[in-house]
Amino acid sequence: MNQHVNNVKYVGWVMESVPVVVFENYELSSMTLKYRRQCSQSDALQSMCSPTSCTAKLEKEAEVEVNGAGCSYIAGSQTSIPDVAKCVPPHLQFTHLLRLQVDGAEILQGKTQWRLKKSKHLH
């Protein structure tokens, strides 16, 4: 009626920015969202996510520190996240931001936590 977006729609937009490699290897274990302001159906938004630090084991059993610096991803862009694709930690965490494309005003901030799918656990 009032042309505002339903909360479920925000969840979908947040998930759009998660790299495909995460969906292939991990399952969502928790999501926390902080709504900053409403948006309407006609607003153009940017959905962004960035991995927070995690410790990963590579094939050579070397410890690698992966942090969010330089690892931003915008949904629909050709940006890759090679650090996330290379590391296979048991848990990942991302921070998320939805903002208006026209002026950058924040709509939502969030965090997601992911655990390695049972079939992907390293032995």
Residues assigned a catalytic role: 2, 4, 39
- Rounded to a whole number, what is the distance in angstroms from the first to the last CA of the chain? 53
Report DSSP state, residue 121: -
Within a 13 Å sphere around the CA of 117, how many CA atoms are in the beta-carbon half? 9
Asked if 108 contacts 34 with a C-beta cutoff of 8 angstroms, the reply is: yes
